[in-house]
Amino acid sequence: MSRAAARRVLPGFGLTLGYTVLYLSLVVLIPLSATFLRSTELGLLRFWEVVTAPRVLASLQLSFGASLVAALVNAVFGFIVAWVLVRHEFPGRKLVDALVDLPFALPTAVAGIALTALYAPTGWLGTWLEPLGIKVAFTPLGIVVALAFIGLPFVVRTLQPVLAELDRELEHAAHGLGATGWDSFRLVVFPTLWPALLTGCALAFSRSVGEYGSVIFIAGNIPMVSEIAPLMIMTRLEQYEYAEATAIAVVMLLLSFGMMLGINALQLWAQRRQGAR
Amino acid sequence: MRRHLPLLLAALLATLGAGTAGAARVELLNASYDPTREFYVEFNRAFAAHWKASTGDEVRVRQSHGGSGKQARSVIDGLPADVVTLALAYDVDALRRNGGLVPANWQSRLPDNSAPYTSTIVFLVRKGNPKNIRDWSDLVRPGVQVITPNPKTSGGARWNYLAAWAWAIRQPQATPASAEAYLRRLFANVPVLDSGARGASVTFVERGIGDVLLAWENEALLARSALGAGRFDIVMPSLSILAEPSVAVVDKVVDRKGTRRVAEAYLRFLYSKQGQELAAKHHFRVRDPQVAARSRAEHPEVAMVTIDQAFGGWDKANAAHFADGGSFDRIYRR
């Protein structure tokens, strides 16, 4: 499509930019600034006291840690799922493809209840895992399981289009030049895919950090052990401490934003490096 | 005659108007906590019939249920509830502290601390009581799993916590430190801390986790009769707490909506014979001595402390146990 044609599809730049700014303000910026404003009611000292309380620190560590582990698990298994769905034709492929979206569509509380019922010591899987000494429900491991469930579609759906566009000629060429299958994956396929993989993981990760509904049932919610950061916010709200709740929210927001920024910078750097080669 | 027609029509309309104004339709919203669902369905129907019979007006009461604290927050944030019927006075008092939706004297406006029905905290155990749990001291034995929700997020759980504390502080040579040590051991036996009372019931009843559930007596009786017929026993500890779920008219809302008269009548009806009988039917301990006498079999006598007598009221109890750095925070500190 030529540039002239693109210009005619939508009205002028000024108008669309205006809408963009207005829409972003209404949907994203205003609620976020309200959060920041609310937390300023506390004063610096009290803010610091609230966000550095041992239980809050433990919960932040758990939320970010479990989300990271879940994202890494999804990086491996989401990659395999995406690979199989793009590279292979098999009966029922469309069905499996649709299944990937299920964690998107399912109300998170339903997912949480289902996972808890499954992994509780009396559940279908729990009865088999318990004698082996593996406790899933009501432990941090259960939180990782729930977050892996939630994050899967982010990784698969980001990888799929990139995988589909990957030029198979390159692999054939690599093979022709004497590369083994592993070499061509490592040197040809993976370098093209990894920015998309990183994006997928970053999306899954940031979604997981704030996830409440699917986690809360399986977490066990024991202070210092299995309390997630969003629960600490809910706990503050239950005690009518709105400003304290938003203080924790602000810290989560800043941490998430910092990580997203870092990941974007990493991607930019990778693309530049690839372009330079 | 023809000239008078408009006048006649106007007169006719006026009488019609007056007629509809006479039999008004009112709608009330009652914001309540979780385990009152079944009770208020029946009570609302009874009140509508009573109101129709005594005033000729139609009244429809809508219900909203959820965790007690969450419900109070909704009302503070603008849910137009005419009345609140919550799990503890502390949550009703939150309406006063945040925005003055009720006046300072709200609790003395109705009889019995504005708590028309009460309950207490009991132990729900598996059929036959396999772990032989008799009293609070059994809850800290190794190998006993206790299910109770998080007192920071659940009103019911605060009653549980304070009942345990009241028992511990009354043991020979007890000090606040020994009571705190007891609660530390008790919570070390808690494998899951649900955020609300219903969640804890589900964990214990449906998921089969734990040996004993600390529960409202009315919830325990409901669980025994409805949820799991013959699967549970109720154990009455040697000492418990008188749980007083409080009710109040939300002044700011009723004055805006003009529903004060019917809202007040609604709450007073809770104290009537009929209201008390319905509450008793739904396993509450009621105030009316005659109605209470009839359900004595369901509610054995038990020594009970009250929040005012044992803790000096909710404000003090909350500051000592559930606020930042309170005893509940301390027992989880390593």
Domain holding A198: CATH number? 1.10.3720.10
Taking the C-alpha atoms of residue A13 and residue A23, their distance in angstroms, rounded to an integer, is 15
Say which DSSP state A139 is in. Answer: S
Residues of chain A contacting B195 with CB distance shorter than 8 Å:
216, 221, 231, 234, 238
Among B150, B186, B203, B321, the strongest candidate for a mutation testing the A interface, having the largest count of A CBs within 10 A, is B150
Are A9 and A101 found together in one domain? no
User: Do B2-115+244-270 and B118-243+302-331 come out as alike in CATH topology?
Assistant: yes
Tell whether A204 and A223 lie within a shared domain: yes
Cβ neighbors of A267 (< 8 A, separation 6 or more) are A195, A198, A199
The first and second tokens of residue A257, run together, are: 């934003």
The Cα A74–Cα A144 span in angstroms is 11
pLDDT tens-digit map of B242-279:
999 999 999 999 999 999 999 999 999 999 999 999 99
A163 shares its domain with A27: no
| Residues A211, A99 share a domain | yes
State residue A194's pLDDT score.
86
CA distance linking residue B203 with residue B149, whole number of Å: 10
CA distances from A73 to A33, A151, A156, A276, B75 (A): 34, 10, 12, 31, 43
Most confident stretch, A20-34, A251-265, B137-151: B137-151
Residue A248 has pLDDT above 90, yes or no: yes
> How many angstroms from the chain centroid is the CA of residue B22?
35
Whether A19 and A135 share a structural domain: no
In Å, what is the CA distance from A19 to each residue of A3, A22, B160? 21, 5, 54
**One domain, residues A121 and A33:** no
Number of folded domains in chain A?
2
Per-residue CA distances from B204 to A120, A228, B12, B126 (Å)? 11, 22, 64, 9
Do A36 and A100 lie in a common domain?
no
- Given a cut of 50, whether residue A105 has pLDDT beyond it is yes
| Neighbour count for residue A105 (Cβ, 10 Å) | 8
Supply the CATH classification number for the domain B2-115+244-270. Answer: 3.40.190.10
Q: Which of B74, B98, B207 to mutate to test the interface with A (most CBs of A within 10 A)?
A: B207
- Predicted TM-score of the model (pTM): 0.80
Averaged pLDDT, A135-144: 92
Q: What domain range includes position A96?
A: 48-276
pLDDT, position B226? 74
pLDDT at residue A10, rounded to an integer? 66
Q: Quick check: A138 and B98 CB within 8 A?
A: no
Give, rounded to a whole angstrom, the gap between the first and last alpha carbons of chain B.
94
Q: Are residues A32 and A61 in the same domain?
A: no
Cα dist from B229 to B142, B190, B220, B223, whole Å: 29, 25, 12, 8
Two tokens, residue B163: 């009942």
Of B69, B152, B207, which has the smallest distance from its Cβ to A120's Cβ? B207
Taking residues A143-172, what's their average pLDDT?
91
DSSP notation for A75-94? HHHHHHHHHHHHH---TTHH
Kindly identify which residue of chain A lies nearest to residue B189, measuring between CA atoms.
A222
Residue B239 vs residues A156, B168, B204, B298: alpha-carbon distances, Å:
57, 10, 23, 17
A128 shares a domain with A2: no
- Token output for A227: 């309390």
- Tell whether A5 and A108 lie within a shared domain: no
CB pairs A-B closer than 8 Å: 65
Low pLDDT (below 50) residues in chain B: 1, 12-21
Q: State chain A's mean pLDDT as an integer.
A: 88
Question: CATH assignment of B118-243+302-331?
Answer: 3.40.190.10
Same domain, A16 and A74: no
Residue found under tokens 């759980």: B157
Note whether A221 contacts B193, CB cutoff 8 Å.
yes
All structural domains of chain B with their residue ranges: 2-115+244-270, 118-243+302-331
Q: Decide: B236 and B300 in contact? Cβ < 8 Å.
A: yes
Q: Which candidate in A46, A238, A240 is best for mutational testing of the B interface (most B CBs within 10 A)?
A: A238
* Phi, psi torsion values for A163, nearest 5 degrees: -60, -40
Per DSSP bridges, beta strands B212-216 and B117-126 are antiparallel
Element (H, E) at A171: helix A168-176
Nearest to A121 among B153, B194, B209 (CB): B209
Q: What percent of chain A has pLDDT over 70?
A: 95
Q: Does A42 touch chain B (CB under 8 A)?
A: no
Residue B29, helix vs strand vs coil = strand
pLDDT range class, residue A7, cuts 50, 70, 90: low
The pLDDT value recorded for residue B325 is: 85
CB-CB neighbours of B289 under 10 Å: 8
Predicted confidence (pLDDT) at residue A3 exceeds the cutoff of 80: no
Report residue A229's pLDDT band, with 50, 70 and 90 as the boundaries: very high
Q: State the nearest Cα–Cα gap between A36 and chain B, in angstroms.
A: 19
Query: Between residues A169 and A275, which one has the greater pLDDT?
Result: A169
What are the CA-CA distances from residue A87 to residues A166, B4, B114, B316 (Å)? 10, 89, 69, 66
Question: Taking phi first (over 0 means left), then psi (-120 to 50 degrees means alpha), and beta for anything else, what does residue B263 get?
Answer: alpha
Query: Cβ contact (<8 Å) for A238 and B152?
Result: yes
Residues in chain B closer than 8 A to A223 (CB atoms)? 193, 329, 332
**Chain B residues interacting with chain A (CB cutoff of 8 angstroms):** 67, 69-70, 72-73, 76, 94, 97-98, 150, 152-154, 190-195, 199, 207-209, 322-324, 329, 332-334
- Main-chain phi, psi angles of B247, to 5 degrees: -125, 150
